[in-house]
Amino acid sequence: MGTYNIPRNVKGEGRILFIFSGKSLIYTVIGVGLGLPLYGLFSLMNLHIAGIIAIVITALIGFVIGTFKMPSIGILKFTKAVSGENIDDIIKRAVLFKKKGNKIYLYTKEEEK
């Protein structure tokens, strides 16, 4: 009998500190970088705790963008088209679409009675 290699999903094996993938760590660091000016602004007003909370919130937003996929929510129509895709890919496409100034035209065919 021969041996066979069984394909497997190795996506989760490149994790850092058990929760961070490379991409989520980068987005978390970007979130911290965006929160640091807010901390500086709040520390000028002697609100150090609010500054730390701002850093944590922006880091958490960065982590969510880098880690999770878009869920399918039945009430929201646009989530059905992008469900299962990474949130950062959706944001990148939206930014590029707006940057190019593209427009989408929908033509509906009306039935005559």
51, part of any domain: yes
pLDDT > 60? residue 4? yes
* Amino acid 22: pLDDT: 80
Helix, strand, or coil (residue 20): strand
* Amino acid 113: pLDDT: 61
In the chain, how many domains are there? 2
Burial of 2 (0-12, 13-18, 19+ CB in 10 A): exposed
C-alpha 49/C-alpha 57 separation (Å) is 12
6, part of any domain: no
23-71 pLDDT, tens per residue? 888 899 999 999 999 999 999 999 999 999 999 999 999 999 888 888 7
66-88 pLDDT, tens per residue? 888 887 777 777 777 777 788 88
- Is the pTM value of this prediction over 0.85? no
Last residue of a domain, one of 52, 68, 84: 68
C-alpha 48/C-alpha 53 separation (Å) is 9
